[in-house]
Structure 1
C-alpha cells in the first residue's frame, strides 16, 4: 500500500484521523516522532515563517519547495494545504495541483475562498474546477489522491449551514474525497453536515472544539489544528528569547540537556 492509499484508508478507519499540521521539516519530523499517522501542511504557518500573512502572498514555487522537503523526509502521508490553488484560472490551478502531487504528497486541501476579494467562488464554478482537478489527477496516475474540499462558508457567512450542505454535496459530486468546514463548531450543526454528506468531514480545532473522542461521536472523520500549533511554538520562542535578554543568563537553555537523546 503506497502513501496515497494509506492516506485514503485513514479516512475510513474506525478511529478519526487526527492530523498534525506542520510548517517546516523540523515541525513535521517532530509530529511524526510524536506518533501522528499523517501530516498536513499549514499555509498560514508556512507563510508566517517566511514573514508573510496567509492568503497566497508567497510565491508558489517557494511554497511547493517547502512541501516537497516535508514529503521527502517523513514516512507518514502528507496532505498539502494549497489554499485556493495559487491561480486565477482553472488551468493554472490544475497545473499547481499536479505539481503538488508530483512532489510526493497524498492529498491536498483546496478552498473555495476568493483571494483577490472577499467572498466565495460560485458553487458551479468551483464544482467545475474540482471536476477538472479530479480528471487531471486520474489521467496522470493519481487516481486515489485525496481532494479535501474546503468551504469557507462558516468563516464568511452569518447563516451558513444550508449553503455549507449545498456546497459540500456539489463538491463531493464533482470528485472531492472529503469536505473541510473550518469554523463549524456546534454539535447540532456538525451532526447535520455529517448526515447530509457522503464523504468524510474534516473540522478545525477551535476554543471549545478540541476533543477527538467527542468529535468521533458526532461523526467527524478528520480533525486538524491548522496554525494553532505553530502559533503556540512562536509564542514560546518569543517568551524564551525575552527571558534570555531579561535574565542575561543562559542557564535555562540547559534545564533538560541531560534528557536529550
Structure 2
C-alpha cells in the first residue's frame, strides 16, 4: 500500500493538478481507465442514485464496499467517497475504511456536510480523520469541508479553521467544493500548505487555470454521471421523435463487453 500511496500522492502537483474523474459503476470506471486516467474516484451521488438511494444519508456503505471489490482489479489508483464515514463513531469509520484499504483502495474523501444542511462538529470530523490515519497510515485522506457548498456565513474562515484541524489530525489533502473566487483559492493554498482539491464546474475555470492558482487536484464529482443520464434521455427522446440519431462516438457492443472481461491489475 505504501508504494501506491506514494504514487497517488505524487499525482497531486500544485500548479499541475490531477484531473480525477469520478465513476459510479464498473463500466464507467473501466472506460475511464481504458482512456488512460491513472486515478479514478467514485461519486457518492452516482453510486447512491444507481442503487435507488439518497446521497449523503449514510445509506450506501455496503454498496461502496461492493463497488470497491469490483473496481479493485482495474489498472488505476482508486479513491472512494465515503460521505461522512457512514457513522459518527470514529472507530467504526476507521474499521470501515480499513476494509476498503484491504481491497486495494488508495484514498478516501470524507466530508463534514450533513444531510440536514449543517456542518458537522469540526472536532468530530477531525477525530474521524485521526482514527482513519491511525488505522491505515498508508491511505490518502482527502478531508472535505462543505463551507461553500452549504452556504454558511464566512465560508473562507470556516474552511481555513476546519482545514487546519483536519490537517492536524492527519489529513493528506483538503477538498473545498463550491469555492470559486480566485482570492479564496489562493488563501486556501497559502494558508493550508497542503494539496487543495476543487470541483470542476461547467463554465468555470479549467484545470490549467486552477493550477495557476496552486490547486493540486480537480475532481469531476457527479458531473459525468449526470451527463450520462442527460445523454441517455436525450438520445431516447430523439429516437422517439423520429430525428436522425445524434450519436456521439459510442463504444461498440464488443468494446463494452471487453471492459467487463479484461481485468488487468496494477501489479
* TM-score, L = length of structure 1: 0.88
CA–CA separation in structure 1 for the residues paired with 2:118 and 2:249: 49
Deviation at 1:35, TM superposition (A): 2.2
CA 1:248/1:147 → structure 2, altered by over 3 Å: closer, same or farther? Answer: same
- Spell out, residue by residue over 1:13-72, the C-alpha distance to the aligned partner (whole angstroms, 9 max, x if none): 762111111111111111112222210100111111112231135341122101221222
Q: Which residue of 1 aligns with 2:260?
A: none
Equivalent runs, 1:201-240 vs 2, <5 Å: 201-240=196-235
Structure ranking higher on relative contact order (CA contacts 8 Å, 6+ apart): 2
Equivalent runs, 1:36-75 vs 2, <5 Å: 36-56=37-57, 58-72=59-73, 74-75=74-75
CA–CA separation in structure 1 for the residues paired with 2:227 and 2:7: 29
Structure 1 gaps, min length 5: 138-142
Check whether the contact 2:58–2:84 (CA below 8 A) recurs between aligned residues. Answer: no
Check whether the contact 1:18–1:222 (CA below 8 A) recurs between aligned residues. Answer: yes
Deviation at 1:158, TM superposition (A): 3.2
User: Aligned pairs, how many?
Assistant: 253
CA–CA separation in structure 1 for the residues paired with 2:164 and 2:130: 13
- Spell out, residue by residue over 1:158-181, the C-alpha distance to the aligned partner (whole angstroms, 9 max, x if none): 321111111111111110000000
Equivalent runs, 1:19-98 vs 2, <5 Å: 19-56=20-57, 58-72=59-73, 74-98=74-98
CA 1:209/1:252 → structure 2, altered by over 3 Å: closer, same or farther? Answer: closer
- Spell out, residue by residue over 1:114-173, the C-alpha distance to the aligned partner (whole angstroms, 9 max, x if none): 34x331222222222211111111xxxxx3310000011112213211111111111111
Q: Which residue of 2 aligns with 1:149?
A: 143
- Spell out, residue by residue over 1:207-247, the C-alpha distance to the aligned partner (whole angstroms, 9 max, x if none): 44241110110000000110011101111001112233333
The answer on 1:113 being equivalent to 2:113 is: yes
Which has the larger helix fraction?
1
Deviation at 1:205, TM superposition (A): 1.2
Check whether the contact 2:200–2:218 (CA below 8 A) recurs between aligned residues. Answer: yes
Q: Which residue of 2 aligns with 1:136?
A: 135
Q: Which residue of 1 aligns with 2:195?
A: 200
CA 1:257/1:187 → structure 2, altered by over 3 Å: closer, same or farther? Answer: closer
Q: CA RMSD in A?
A: 2.5
CA–CA separation in structure 2 for the residues paired with 1:58 and 1:171: 24
Check whether the contact 2:89–2:128 (CA below 8 A) recurs between aligned residues. Answer: no
Structure 2 gaps, min length 5: 256-267
Q: Which residue of 2 aligns with 1:10?
A: 11
